[in-house]
Amino acid sequence: MRSPLGRVAGPGPADAEEIDALRRRAWQERGFLVIDAADGRLDRAQRAFVECIGERLFGRRVSRGTQGSDKRGAAAAKDNATGA
């Protein structure tokens, strides 16, 4: 899918290696951690931990393998932020 913003944003990462380099740089320079819960480098316990953190911050995912959260995600994130 093409977007009019493509001209401004420029080309995206070309491959998995480039995406990994962007993730590494985000962590090292900004402290942002971008983790794919299905990353093969993680063991079962680490994947479960990542999923728990994601659910705590952003709510449950619609289904496994689908990005985004369900309708409760925004409310759950708000409740978590306010300590409710």
Model pTM score: 0.55
- Mention every residue, 6+ apart, whose C-beta is less than 8 A from residue 42: 35, 50
Distance CA 74, CA 80 (A): 10
Structural domain span for residue 17? 1-34
Count of domains observed in the chain = 2
Residue-wise pLDDT tens digits, 39-61: 999 999 999 999 999 999 999 98
**In a shared domain, residues 47 and 20:** no
49 and 16 both lie in a single domain: no
Residues 39 and 53 in one domain: yes
Residues 44 and 71 in one domain: yes
Is the same domain home to 47 and 15?
no
Claim to verify: residue 13 and residue 28 sit in the same structural domain: yes
pLDDT in tens, 6-48: 777 777 778 889 999 999 999 999 999 999 989 999 999 999 9
DSSP 34-46: ---TT-TTS-HHH
